[in-house]
Structure 1
Amino acid sequence: MTLSINTTRLQQDIETLSAIGRREDHGLYRMAFTEGDMEGRAWFKQQLEEAGLEVYEDGAANIHGRLNWDDETPAVVTGSHLDTVPAAGHLDGALGVLVGLECLRCIKEQNLPLRHPLEVISFTDEEGRFGGMAGSQAIAGQLTPESIHQAVDLDGVTLSEAMQQNGYDAMHALHARYRPEAIHAFVELHIEQGPILDQMGLSVGVVDAIAGLFKWEVSLIGTANHAGTTPMHMRNDAFQGLAEFSSEIQRILEENGSARSVATIGRVDIKPGAPNVVPGRVEFSLEARDTDAHTLEDLQHAFRKALSAIARRRNLMFEFKILSEIDPVKCDLGLVNDLEEVAKQLKHEPLIMASGAAHDTQMMARIARAAMVFVPSKGGRSHSSAEWTELVDIERGANVMLNALYKIAGEQQV
C-alpha cells in the first residue's frame, strides 16, 4: 500500500502560514515570542484542532498535535519549528511542521491502524533568538534553571521576560522533558539549506549525520604604527597574521579534516581600523564543522598549532576564546535504512548525506532514535526571502515522510 498526501491542502497551508509575519521587504519576522510568532502559533493550534488531533502545549511552549495518544505507548514523533530568523524565507522549519501535520491528517482520515501513537511538534525558538533550540532542549532534558535565567536576546530581553509577556512561565520548561522510553522514533523533514540536492537534480536526501561545531573568537595582537614611516620588515602587522592563517585553512582541512569538514572566518574586526595605521590588533571568528567528534578535535589542535606558529613568526600574541561547542550526531541506522527504502519504493533515488546545519533532531537524538529527510533548496538559498523549493520536490519529500511514518508506527508494513 502506497500513501499520498493531499498536495493542494499542504500547499494552501504553506501559503497561509507564509503570510504570517511577512513585512515590506518580503521577509518573514516570526522570531520566538514576537507578535508574528504568536500569531503563527495560534494559527497552527487551530489547524490541529480542525484536523481532530489532540492539542497539547508544554511548559516550554512547544505545541504538540497527537493521534491515538494514550500516555503509555511510545510515540513516533515528527516536527520542526515555526519561528524564523529576521527577514527569513517561508520554508525553513515551517515545512517540517506542516508536513508533519499533513501526514497525521492523512493517516487519521484513512483510519489506518497504528501500533504507536503519532505526534507532530512545533518546537520553540530553534532559530536562536535566545540561544537556539530551547524547545527541543527542554524535551531532551538539556535545560537547567541557570541556562533559562541566562538566556537573553541581542536587545537584552530575557527569555523569562518574553515568555511572561505572552502568558508563560519560563521555569515550567523544566517540566517539558520526555522520558526516552516515551519515544519510539523521531523523524524530521527539512529543506536542505544548501546546494547539493539542487545541483544533483535530486528530490530527496536522507541524513545520516548532523555536523557538530566549535566556534572561537580569536585575537592576533601586534603593534599599531604609522603606515608611511614603518618599513614592511619592521612591522608587527596583526592583519597579515590573519591573512596568512586564512590561506592555511584549506591545507588544514585537507590534512586534518574529512570530506565533510568545513571552516569559516565570518567576522573580522581590524583595530584601530584607519587607512594610515598598521593594524595592531585583529579579532575574528573561526567556526569549523564536521560529523565526527574526533575529526573536530584534530581540527582544533591543527588550528591552534597554525595560529601559534604564525604568531611566533610574525612577533604577534595569539589569544582565543571558545564561544560554543556542539557535539555531532549520528542518525539511527535503522531509521536511515527505513527512509531510504521508502524513497526507493516511491521511485526516488535518495542521496545519503550529512547536515551541516543544526536542527532540533540534534537534541532529540539524545533521547530517541532519530533521522531526517531533506528536500532541495533552490540555489542552496535559505534564511532569506529568496528561499524556495519546487512543489514537486515538497510533494515527494512529504510522501516519503508519510509512508515512512506509517511504516514505523503502523500495524502493517508499507
Structure 2
Amino acid sequence: MERKVNLERIKKDILTLAEIGRQESDRGIYRMAFTDADIEGKRWLLDRIETAGLEAKTDGAVNVSGILAGKSDAPRVLIGSHIDTVPCAGALDGTLGVVVALECLRTLREQGVQPERTLELIAFSDEEGRFGGMFGSQAVCGQINPKSLATMTDLNGILLRDELQRHGYDPMAALDAARDPESIAGYLELHIEQGPVLDRTHKTVGIVDEITGLFTWSVTLRGEANHAGTTPMEMRNDAFMGLADFAHEVPRILAENGSDRSRATIGKAQILPGAANTVPGHVDFSLDVRDTSETILDELSAAFRKALSAIARHRNLMFEFQQKSYLRPVACKDEIVELLLRQAQQLGLEYERMPSGAAHDAQIMGNLVPVGMIFVPSKNGQSHSPAEWTAWSDIEAGANLMLQTVVEMSSS
C-alpha cells in the first residue's frame, strides 16, 4: 500500500487553527504562549488528537502529546513543533510541524499500521520565547528548575508561574515533564524555512544538517555629549561614530574569522541624548552572531571584542558589553540526515542540504537525543508576519517525506 498524507485534512487543520487568536485589524495571529488564545489552541489540538483515535496527553509544562502505541517498549520516536506564535504572526510557523505530525500518525492508524516503536506527536509550549526561553522543550530536557519557574517573566513583567496558575496549572509540575533520554530514539521536526534559500533556488524541501548556535550582546559605547556647532570634529568623543566604525568592521570580521554559515546583525540601536544639535555621548546597541560551529562562534566573539576595544581607544570612548543569551550549535544526527536524503531521492523531490539559521525546539532536543529537521520553502522568505506562506504542493511533499521517514525510523 502506498502511504500518503491527506492534504485536504492538513489544509483544514491549518486554516482552522489560524483563526484561533487572529485579529481582524491586521489579519495577524496573536497566540502567544499561555494567553487565552494559546490555551484554546491547545484544547483544539487535544480534541483533534482524540478525534483521530490517538491517545491524548498533557504534561506538566503543558506540552500536548498524541500517541500511536507501538508493538514494543523500545525507545519512541517524537515528531512535532509548537503552536504558540509571536505577535502578528502567520499561519505556519510551528503550526505546520504539529499538524503534519498529527497527519502522519492518523494516516498510519487509518491504514492499520502498528509501528514497532511508539510514535508521539508533541506540541511544545512557548517555543517563541515569551518567557525568555523555549519552555516546553527545555522542560522535557530537564533544563527547568524551581528558581527559573519562580522568576521567568515576559517583557511586560508578567510571571510565567502566574500565567500557568491563571489557567489552572501547577507551575512546579513542569519539573515532572523531564524525560529519560534513553526512552527517546529520536526527534523529527518539519518547519517552514523562514528564509529565502529554498524559494529562490526552487527546491521543494530542505534537509537540515546543522542548527546554528548564537550569542547576543548588549553593547554600550560612552563618549561625551557636546554642542554640534562649537565642538570641532577632531575634539569629539562621538559614541555614534564608534558604532558606525564597528558596523563597517562586521563584514571584515566575518570574512576573516567566520564561515559561509556565519551571520552578524546589529538590529537595535539607541543614540543619546538624541538631539539633532548634540554630539552623541552614549550609544546602546545589540549584536546577534550566529554560526553552526562553536569554535567559530568563540573566534568571532574574540574578534568582535578586539574590534570594539580598538575603536574605543581610537575614538576615546569607553565600551562594555553583556552577553544576553547563548545557544550552542547542534548537529543533526548523521543517520537521520542520510535517511531523509535517501527518502527525498526515492520520492523524486528537489532538495537542498542546508543549515538552520534560526533556533527551533530541535535545537533544545538535540542536547538530549538524536534530531532531524525538514524545511519547506517560505514564499519570498517571509515569516513572523501575516504574509508568511508556503505552497500547498510543497507542504504535501514535506509531509510525505516526514511520513516515509517516520515509518522507517519507527520500524528499526
TM-score range, shorter chain: over 0.9
Following TM superposition, the consecutive aligned residue runs of length 4 or more in structure 1 with deviations greater than 4 angstroms are none
- Quote the Cα distance in structure 2 between the aligned partners of 1:46 and 1:179: 27
Q: Tell me which residue corresponds to 2:376.
A: 375
1:401 paired with 2:402, answer yes
Q: Secondary structure at the match of 1:230?
A: coil
Q: Say which SS state the counterpart of residue 386 (structure 1) adopts.
A: coil
Report if aligned partners of 1:112, 1:410 keep a CA contact under 8 Å in 2. Answer: no
Match of 1:18 in 2: 18
Shift of 1:113: 3.7
Give the drift of 1:318.
Answer: 1.0
Cα distance in 2, alignment partners of residues 210 and 148 from structure 1: 27
The structural deviation recorded for 1:314 is 0.8
Contact map agreement 1:76 1:409 (CA 8 A) in 2: yes
Is 1:132–2:133 an aligned residue pair? Answer: yes
Letter in structure 2 aligned against 1:23:
Q
| Alignment RMSD | 1.1
What amino acid maps onto 2:42 in structure 1? Answer: R
Tell me the equivalent position of 2:218.
217
Aligned-pair distance for 1:156? 1.1
Provide, for residues 117-150 of structure 1, a one-character-per-residue CA deviation record: whole Å limited to 9, x for no partner.
Answer: 1000010000011113100001011111111112
User: Which residue matches 1:77?
Assistant: 78
**Contact 2:70–2:114 under 8 Å retained in 1:** no
Query: Alpha carbons of 1:69 and 1:407: their partners in 2 closer, same or farther (altered >3 Å)?
Result: closer
Counterpart mapping for 1:101-116 below 5 A: 101-116=102-117
Cα deviation for residue 294 of structure 1 reads 0.2
Residue 391 (str. 1) matches residue 392 (str. 2): yes
Question: For residue 5 of structure 1, what is the aligned residue in structure 2?
Answer: 5
Q: Contact between 1:210 and 1:355, CA under 8 Å: does it hold in 2?
A: yes
Question: 2:267 matched to which residue of 1?
Answer: 266
- Partners of 1:63 and 1:124 in 2: how far apart? 8
Mark the CA change 1:259 to 1:79 in structure 2 (over 3 Å): closer, same or farther.
Answer: same
Residues in 1 aligned to 2:386 and 2:87: alpha-carbon distance in whole angstroms: 10
| Cα contact 2:82–2:124 (8 A) shared by 1 | yes
Counterpart of 1:328 in structure 2 is 329
Q: Which amino acid aligns with 1:87?
A: C
Code of the aligned partner of 2:399: A
| Contact 1:123 1:136 (C-alpha < 8 Å) held by counterparts | yes
* Matched residue, 1:204: 205
> Which residues of structure 2 form unaligned runs of 5+?
none
1:21 counterpart letter in structure 2: G
Q: Deviations over 1:176-216 (max 9, x none)?
A: 01101111111000000000000000110010111111100
Determine if contact 2:56/2:66 at 8 Å carries over to the other structure.
yes
How far 1:172 sits from its partner (Å)? 0.7
Contact 2:72 2:116 in 1 (8 A): no
Aligned to 2:350: 349
1:280-329 Cα offsets, whole Å, 9 max, x none, are 01010011000000000000000000000000011111111111111010
Q: In structure 1, what is the Cα distance between the partners aligned to 2:262 and 2:409?
A: 32
Letter of the 2:164 counterpart: M
1:410 Cα deviation from its structure 2 partner: 2.6
1:406 and 1:2 map into 2 onto residues whose CA distance is: 12
Q: CA deviation at 1:349?
A: 2.7
Offset at 1:73? Answer: 2.5
Aligned to 2:142: 141
Give the superposition deviation at 1:112.
1.7
1:191 matched residue in structure 2: 192
Whole-angstrom distance in 1 between the partners of 2:23 and 2:411 = 42
Q: Distance in 2 between matches of 1:226 and 1:131?
A: 40
Q: CA deviation at 1:101?
A: 0.1
SS at match of 1:228: coil
| Aligned match of 1:293 | 294
TM-score by length of 2: 0.98
The amino acid of 2:48's aligned partner reads: Q
**Residue of structure 1 equivalent to 2:95:** 94
